[in-house]
């Protein structure tokens, strides 16, 4: 198979133009082109007011492939296509009695359990929250009725925090073994749209993800795995530095020497339990800030020019970064085109925001986190859980500023920059439910973060026209950008540094950020665990 890269075509090219472009590029006859597949399609919008083009990566099958490759030996854009198929690294023996445990059923736990099940290891999944449909009802109860269920919300339950998000499926992780491709293929097999295999910034959206996750859960069960909801792990059994099992909230004990710890970044009680049990854990950097909202039409116009609203391009996104004079980096985070800002707390008496989009991305506003990077040495010294404590303090303060009823504190961008409270909305209406209480956001974050964001917003307005418009909305606060801890593991065995048989994984352990990277990490630790189980038998 041959891979062609950097193959450009006009945005509105006809369906047969791609085949013709391949033939022209390789200088072969139509009969010699046996088949082709779009591996990736992106667009080049650098000339948005003159011409936007699609840029393709194509994998082809052709007659005389060796001769074609020889002719293009000096062309870096015509090369042998890499093998992106997934090959299991192990197979469970029929007499394997011990079963691995997977704690958490977000993207990481989902793919860890699926990979183990496909290799025959019959994992037991322990998820503290509810199944996806019951969890959705509980989440809507907070948004519509201000009723919080601490174990079933945006953070906890089947699908993890990634379920109530934009469903983004792209990442900048290094992936030489193409685990990300397996993640995509499994999603498609479970009902996701096939376009996620080739578009440059694929996403699924919350409503579609619910069905996909449910289908993958049923496959795990069909392959001999077990998925237990409302099964919170409250203690670890550790014997001579080795995992021996776990204790559940209902008092039940499950014995296993092999445990994948696929916590989300909000499992604060579990972080504390790990620290008490002596599992090696350390503080890590994360970011804090606000959600910002603009009309999606404004972002489309700024990013796509005359092509704004083109059906092939969809809602436009952005990525921004600014280095403030106080040394802080301010950047956009988890940008959600055509989406909504959502209440994402998992604890009573606290307010935290996140962004979410459906597959259609057709809501009125665009939103993104505008956040400031912080680190343990400078901003929260004092131990491995100091970042957790900082998050809790800030979220409790946001609850008070929002009126103590899960409404969020908010402020117009113009007022925020000028340092004056807001009293009335302009043309931009906030999407956050239960609601936004306008006022002054300055007390919600440390002074260095407020100063940096105030400086960054006008600079962002120079990159995206109107980004700092007076009536754009800032909604507080965004604190759960990533885990505030790392449950550090050995880079070769992927086991905890001081607890054998424990495999920290995914976003909560500090090894992923987003659905795709969490899924990839789940596959990696599942392979490592399976190979270790087999090695321990010998």
Question: Residue 228 pLDDT more than 70?
Answer: yes
Residue 49: its pLDDT value, please? 63
* Domains assigned to the chain: 2-80 (3.30.70.2700), 101-282+485-537 (3.50.50.60), 285-478 (no CATH)
Report the pLDDT value the prediction gives residue 532, as an integer from 0 to 100.
97
Rg (CA), the chain: 24
Return the pLDDT at 537. Answer: 87
Query: Residue 288: in which H helix or E strand, if any?
Result: strand 286-295
Annotate 293-349 with DSSP letters as a single string. Answer: EEEHHHHHHHHHGGGTT-TTT-S-----EEE-TTS-EEEEEEEEEEEEEEE---STT
User: What value does the mean pLDDT take over residues 277-290?
Assistant: 98
Spatial separation of the C-alpha atoms in residues 431 and 342, rounded to whole Å? 8
Within 8 A by CB and 6+ apart from 464, the residues are 299, 302, 303, 318, 320
pLDDT at 442: 98
Q: What are phi and psi of 440, to 5 degrees?
A: -120, 120
Q: With CA atoms as reference, report the closest residue to 108 among 151, 161, 153.
A: 161
- H/E run at residue 6: strand 2-10
Compute the distance between CA of residue 199 and CA of residue 192 in angstroms, rounded to an integer: 13
Q: What is the mean pLDDT of residues 273-282?
A: 97
pLDDT-derived band at 492 (thresholds 50, 70, 90) equals very high
pLDDT tens for 345-374 read 999 999 999 999 888 888 999 999 999 999
Q: How far is CA 184 from the centre of its chain?
A: 14
Does 170 have pLDDT greater than 80? no
pLDDT at res. 48? 65
The residue assigned the tokens 């946001």 is 398
Residues 140-155 pLDDT 10s: 999 999 999 999 999 9
pLDDT band at 205; cut points 50, 70, 90: confident
* Predicted confidence (pLDDT) per residue in 15-37, tens digit: 899 999 999 999 999 999 999 99
pLDDT tens digit string along 448-464? 999 999 999 999 999 99
Confidence of residue 162 (pLDDT cuts 50, 70, 90): confident
Using the 8-state DSSP alphabet, how is residue 489 labeled? Answer: B
Q: Which residues of 84-99 are buried (b: 16+ CB within 10 A; e: fewer)?
A: bebeeebebeeeeeeb
pLDDT, tens only, 230-245: 999 999 999 999 999 9
Q: What is the pLDDT of residue 202?
A: 87
What is the per-residue DSSP string for 422-470? Answer: --S--SPPP--BS-EEES--GGGS-HHHHHHHHHHHHHHHHHSTTTT-T
Give the CB-side neighbour count of residue 535, counting CA atoms within 13 A: 10
Could you say which DSSP state residue 64 is in?
A: T
Q: Which bin fits 406, alpha (ψ -120 to 50), beta or left (φ > 0)?
A: left
Structure tokens at 96: 């394997």
Give the distance, in angstroms, between the CA of residue 44 and the centroid of all CA atoms in the same chain.
Answer: 24
**What percent of the chain is modeled with pLDDT above 90?**
89
Q: Among candidates 373, 359, 364, 397, which has minimal Cα distance to 473?
A: 364
Alpha carbon of residue 19 to chain centroid:
35
Average pLDDT rounded to a whole number, residues 473-481: 97
Distance CA 37, CA 35 (A): 7
Hey, what long-range contacts does 194-202 have (CB within 8 A, 24 or more apart)? 196/169, 198/38, 198/39, 198/40, 198/41, 199/40, 199/41, 199/42, 200/40, 200/41, 200/42, 200/43, 200/170, 201/42, 201/168, 201/170, 201/317, 202/168, 202/169, 202/170
Mean per-residue pLDDT, 61-86: 96
CA dist 223 and 97 (Å) reads 16
Q: What is the pTM of this model?
A: 0.94
Angle among Cα 160, 449, 323 to the nearest 5 degrees reads: 100
For residue 318, name the pLDDT band (cuts at 50, 70, 90).
very high
pLDDT bucket at 471, cuts 50 / 70 / 90 = very high
Q: What is the mean pLDDT of the chain?
A: 95
């Amino acid at each position: 198979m041959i891979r062609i890269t950097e193959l450009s075509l006009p945005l509105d090219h006809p369906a047969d133009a791609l085949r013709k472009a391949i033939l022209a590029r390789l200088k072969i006859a139509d009969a010699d082109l046996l088949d082709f597949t779009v591996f990736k399609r992106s667009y080049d919008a650098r000339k948005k007011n003159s011409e936007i083009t699609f840029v393709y990566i194509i994998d082809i099958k052709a007659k005389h492939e060796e001769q074609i490759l020889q002719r293009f030996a000096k062309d870096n854009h015509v090369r042998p296509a890499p093998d992106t198929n997934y090959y299991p690294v192990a197979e469970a023996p029929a007499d394997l009695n011990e079963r691995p445990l997977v704690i958490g059923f977000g993207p990481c736990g989902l793919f860890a359990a699926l990979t183990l099940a496909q290799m025959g290891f019959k994992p037991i999944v322990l998820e503290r929250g509810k199944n996806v449909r019951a969890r959705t009802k509980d989440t809507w109860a907070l948004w519509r009725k201000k009723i919080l269920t601490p174990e079933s919300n945006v953070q906890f339950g089947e699908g993890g925090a990634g379920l109530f998000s934009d469903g983004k499926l792209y990442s900048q992780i290094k992936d030489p073994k193409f685990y990300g491709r397996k993640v995509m293929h499994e999603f498609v097999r479970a009902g996701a749209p096939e376009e996620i295999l080739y578009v440059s910034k694929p996403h699924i959206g919350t409503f579609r993800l619910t069905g996909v996750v449910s289908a993958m859960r049923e496959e795990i069960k069909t392959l001999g795995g077990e998925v237990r909801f409302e099964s919170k792990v409250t203690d670890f059994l550790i014997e001579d530095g080795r995992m021996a099992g776990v204790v559940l909230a209902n008092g039940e004990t499950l014995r296993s020497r092999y445990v994948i710890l696929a916590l989300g970044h909000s499992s604060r009680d579990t972080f504390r339990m790990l620290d008490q049990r002596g599992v090696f854990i350390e503080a890590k950097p994360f970011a804090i800030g606000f959600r910002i909202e603009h009309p999606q039409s404004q972002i489309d116009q700024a990013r796509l020019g005359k092509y704004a609203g083109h059906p092939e391009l969809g809602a436009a996104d952005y990525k921004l970064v600014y280095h403030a004079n106080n040394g802080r980096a301010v950047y956009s985070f988890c940008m959600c085109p055509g989406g909504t800002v959502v209440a994402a707390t998992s604890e009573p008496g606290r307010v935290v925001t996140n962004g979410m989009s459906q597959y259609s991305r057709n809501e009125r506003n665009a939103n993104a986190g505008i956040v400031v990077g912080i680190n343990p040495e400078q901003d929260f010294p004092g131990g491995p859980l100091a970042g957790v404590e900082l998050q809790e303090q800030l979220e409790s303060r946001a609850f008070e500023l929002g009126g103590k009823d899960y409404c969020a504190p908010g402020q117009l961008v113009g007022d925020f920059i000028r340092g004056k409270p807001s009293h009335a909305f302009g043309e931009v209406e906030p999407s956050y439910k239960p609601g936004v209480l306008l006022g002054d956001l300055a007390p919600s974050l440390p002074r260095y973060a407020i100063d940096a964001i105030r400086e960054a917003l006008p600079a962002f307005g120079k990159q995206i026209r109107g980004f700092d418009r007076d009536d754009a909305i800032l909604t507080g606060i965004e604190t759960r950008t990533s885990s505030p801890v790392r449950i550090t593991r050995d880079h070769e065995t992927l086991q905890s540094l001081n607890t054998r048989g424990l495999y920290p994984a995914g976003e909560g352990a500090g090894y992923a950020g987003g659905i795709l990277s969490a899924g990839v990490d789940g596959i990696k630790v599942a392979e490592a665990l399976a190979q270790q189980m087999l090695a321990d038998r010998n």
